[in-house]
Structure 1
Amino acid sequence: MGKSKFVAIYTDLCEKIHNQLIAAGDLLPTENELCEQYQASRETIRKALAMLSRNGYIQKIQGKGSIVLDLSRQNFPVSGLTSFRELAGHSKDKWQTTVHQLVLIKPDDHLKMLMNLQKSQPVWKVIRSRSVNGEAVILDKDYLIQSIVPMLTADICEHSLYDYLENELKLKIGFAKKEITVEHANEEDKRLLAMNHDTHIVVVRSLVYLESAEFFQYTESRHRADKFKFVDFARREHQ
């Protein structure tokens, strides 16, 4: 089975856990039952379960199976590469994406340094705000190398950028390097976000690579500080 199959199974199980159709403390169905339920191979099911385990949804217990962990305190993950659409799909709130800018640019010296570009390669610049229940609380600024992502449209950026990259362009997104800082809100933040009386913003900067270790995207995600708690799930790797 292809990557999209185990990701689809992973997403479906995530939704069931978030909607408490499978409650914290419950055991997931056995691998054989999941194979039958999803009409998938054991290898595909194991990939989906490994992804659930890696992202903190389940804990495998020898002789018992996979137990669902309590997610009630998790909100916005720092680790992992989860698209905004996937996160919003697990939320009970109403989320909306607004595309403010989509343009092909020649990067300036600062952007070339950030993206480690050797020459002025054309780069897509995408600016989007994310609103929850009508209030803009996240500003995402994405820069993607055009030689890897030849075409983008506003509809793609409003719908799901990663869905397009993975399922249409067949790119295999591998990993990201991230840094998190707290900074003074700038004029763009104040113009595009509902800042109220907030003066600071939480900024998550990411360098995103394909599975081949080829760099293709720089992202700056700017969050209104009062709206999100950032969480991580750490798993001890045994030797």
Structure 2
Amino acid sequence: MAKYDEIAEDIRSRILSGNYNPNEQLPLEKQMCESYGVSRITIKKAVDELVIQGLVIKRRGSGTFVKAVDGGAVKELSLAKQFAGFTETHKGKMISSKIVRFEVVHPTEEIATKLKITIEDFVYYIIRTRYADDEPYVIEYTYMPISLIPGIKNDILLSSVYGYIEKKLKLKIKSAHRTIRAILPNELEQEWLKIENDFPILEVEQVGFLDNGQPFEYSNAHHRSDKIEFRTVSIK
């Protein structure tokens, strides 16, 4: 991870944990240079990253301030950054999963490229339906490299894979690149999500990354459109 990313992550954590309050001014560049032991260019890159994420705003002649956003927006930013997973983002509900398919396969060339492995490597291929309070929310099609994420078994799939990765394997999930599109369900999705063939679903194509930049997951999650919403914060 680049040094400016590390600094941005530290400041972001302080903002989301409440150490820096809305409208509070961040330390001046000179102070942060001394605190982190880096150049002004590195601090500028870190702050620019936070501006892009909508967490801070620069005021000409005054400095950099924590952006005043509502609690829900801060929560959304936090969840997007922490990449929490279905179990964590539906706290307060009874979460369950059903395994549709679970096997070990060689990846296609496309999937191998996304996971930065070869087609000779082995990956888990997992299809799960996720439920909240016994209602089907999403069916997930997931590929994970066995060499990177060993030991996945049925009991893990029935609970939280991300929890296993972070708590058992001690790996830190960092980020995800996502593409979202609207599609119609296939027969499998109609059956498991309990919807009709003309019921729209949202496909979230995703590559998940660990904190060392290694992709650990390629997935397509097909969400019931009445069970999910995506929020973003746009800045000018």
Normalised by the size of structure 1, how large is the TM-score?
0.64
CA 1:102 to 1:161, structure 2 compared with 1: closer, same or farther past 3 Å?
Answer: same
Instruction: Give the aligned partner of residue 123 of structure 1.
Output: 123
* Aligned residue identity for 1:123: V
Q: Deviations over 1:159-218 (max 9, x none)?
A: 211111112111122221110011121122112211146432100011111211112210
CA 1:95 to 1:75, structure 2 compared with 1: closer, same or farther past 3 Å?
Answer: farther
Aligned mates of 2:13, 2:23 — CA distance in 1: 17
Aligned mates of 2:15, 2:78 — CA distance in 1: 17
Instruction: Give the aligned partner of residue 62 of structure 1.
Output: 24
CA 1:156 to 1:126, structure 2 compared with 1: closer, same or farther past 3 Å?
Answer: same
Instruction: Give the aligned partner of residue 87 of structure 1.
Output: 89
Structure 2 SS opposite 1:203: strand
CA 1:88 to 1:196, structure 2 compared with 1: closer, same or farther past 3 Å?
Answer: same
Q: Deviations over 1:132-174 (max 9, x none)?
A: 3322121112110011012101111222111111121111222
Structure 2 SS opposite 1:167: helix
C-alpha contact 1:75 1:229 (8 A) present in aligned 2: no
C-alpha contact 1:128 1:139 (8 A) present in aligned 2: yes
Instruction: Give the aligned partner of residue 193 of structure 2.
Output: 193
Name stretches of at least 5 consecutive residues in structure 2 with no aligned partner: 1-9, 26-65
- Paired residues, number: 184
* Aligned residue identity for 2:125: K
C-alpha contact 1:135 1:194 (8 A) present in aligned 2: no
Instruction: Give the aligned partner of residue 154 of structure 1.
Output: 154
Aligned mates of 2:123, 2:206 — CA distance in 1: 16
* Aligned residue identity for 1:60: P
Instruction: Give the aligned partner of residue 15 of structure 2.
Output: 50
Aligned mates of 1:77, 1:181 — CA distance in 2: 23
Normalised by the size of structure 2, how large is the TM-score?
0.65
Q: Deviations over 1:24-82 (max 9, x none)?
A: xxxxxxxxxxxxxxxxxxxxx987543457xxxx952328x99893439x889983312
C-alpha contact 2:177 2:206 (8 A) present in aligned 1: yes
Aligned mates of 2:188, 2:76 — CA distance in 1: 25
Aligned mates of 2:170, 2:79 — CA distance in 1: 25
C-alpha contact 2:181 2:203 (8 A) present in aligned 1: yes
Aligned mates of 1:233, 1:170 — CA distance in 2: 31
Structure of larger gyration radius: 2
Q: Mapping of 1:68-217 within 5 angstroms?
A: 69-71=70-72, 79-80=80-81, 81-89=83-91, 91=92, 93-196=93-196, 198-217=198-217
State the percentage of identical aligned residues.
21
